[in-house]
């Protein structure tokens, strides 16, 4: 074998080795990306009086709400059953009785306590709530029925039941939510319409991509982001897909996320064959319906 051929082979191998090192080692200028679009949360556009509730947009996960009545005399138990029926007949809500894991607990013991030994304020209220971007989701409420109504309608039970739905007292003496009860009080149309609006949103998850950032050095990409669930139910499994210049380069499985919770995701040293990346797209693939799909995507571009 001639010297020229040997030198050519050595030179070729040297070039190949240098190219391999160039593509594999994190050599080069650090490139940072910034968010340029996507991740748009939907707006509730609430036109109702938000002061009707303790906090804005308080509702249970579904319009089907479970309850359990504990240790009540027959008269008070009847008061609460009529209260559930009364509110069911005036709104789109439906209440059903369960043996355990109820959303609304009813008791007639004055010494009743809430979770972690905390006394319930007043005779009815919310005991467990999760704050999301759009709703204050009620997980549990409690009614302490100290006395039953002497009126034809179960006004006392209904008043306390509305507290467990997040509604505060009214300054209108003719409204059922006035602090003291008289038999002429009624449920205001504004309260009924507020309930109808709050529960017009289906019980769905709402995954959102937030706080995304990325940087690249050599052929390696680092990405940090947060996935949150702003919906009304726990999410199912989903997939984070990363696109570089419109080509998929990485998929990452995301486990279910509970209401109001989030997951911080850090992906380091994702090898990218092409280095001339101008934009990145982060996308959550979720096979089920959501309250909003528009916040499942974030676009990033090189900082200038």
> For residue 136, is pLDDT > 60?
yes
- Dihedrals φ, ψ of 199, to 5°? -95, 15
- Rounded CA-CA distance 279/282 in Å is 10
Phi and psi dihedrals of 158, rounded to 5? -70, -40
Closest CA to 212 of 126, 283, 141: 283
Q: What is the pLDDT of residues 74-110, one digit of tens each?
A: 988 999 999 999 999 999 999 999 999 999 999 987 6
* Nearest by Cα to 201 from 293, 137, 291: 291
User: pLDDT at position 209, please?
Assistant: 94
Which residue would you say has higher pLDDT here, 134 or 256? 256
What CATH code would you report for 50-198? 3.40.390.10
Domain layout of the chain by residue ranges = 25-43+204-302, 50-198
Determine the longest span between alpha carbons in the chain, in angstroms. Answer: 113
Same fold: 25-43+204-302 with 50-198: no
Percent of the chain with pLDDT over 70: 81
Mean pLDDT value of segment 5-21: 55
- What pLDDT score does 48 carry? 59
Q: Spell out the CATH class of 25-43+204-302.
A: mainly beta
pLDDT tens profile 137-175: 999 999 998 887 888 999 999 999 999 999 999 999 999
Position 112 scores a pLDDT of: 47
Mean of the pLDDT values across residues 30-41?
75
């Amino acid at each position: 074998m001639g010297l020229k051929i040997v030198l050519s082979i050595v030179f070729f191998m040297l070039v190949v080795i240098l190219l391999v090192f160039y593509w594999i080692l994190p050599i080069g200028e650090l490139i940072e990306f910034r968010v340029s679009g996507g991740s748009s949360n939907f707006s509730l556009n609430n036109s109702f009086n938000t002061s009707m509730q303790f906090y804005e947009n308080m509702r249970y996960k579904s319009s089907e709400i479970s309850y359990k009545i504990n240790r009540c005399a027959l008269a008070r138990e009847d008061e609460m059953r009529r209260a559930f029926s009364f509110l069911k007949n005036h709104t789109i809500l439906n209440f059903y009785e369960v043996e355990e894991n109820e959303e609304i607990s009813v008791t007639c013991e004055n010494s009743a306590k809430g979770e972690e030994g905390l006394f319930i304020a007043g005779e009815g209220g919310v005991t467990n709530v999760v704050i999301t971007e759009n709703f204050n989701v009620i997980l549990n409420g409690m009614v302490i029925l100290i006395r039953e109504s002497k009126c034809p309608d179960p006004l006392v039970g209904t008043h306390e039941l509305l507290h467990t739905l997040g509604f505060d007292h009214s300054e209108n003496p003719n409204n059922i939510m006035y602090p003291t009860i008289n038999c002429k009080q009624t449920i205001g149309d504004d309260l009924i319409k507020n309930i109808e609006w709050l529960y017009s949103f289906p019980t769905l998850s709402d995954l959102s991509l937030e706080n995304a950032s990325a940087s690249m050095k050599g052929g390696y990409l680092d990405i940090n982001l947060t996935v949150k669930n702003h919906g009304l139910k726990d999410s199912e499994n989903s997939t984070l897909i990363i696109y570089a210049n419109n080509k998929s380069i990485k998929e990452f499985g995301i486990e279910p996320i509970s209401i109001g919770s989030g997951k911080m995701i850090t992906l380091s040293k994702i090898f990218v064959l092409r280095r001339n990346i101008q934009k990145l797209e982060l996308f959550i693939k979720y096979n089920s319906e959501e309250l909003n799909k528009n916040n499942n995507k974030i676009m990033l571009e090189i900082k200038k």
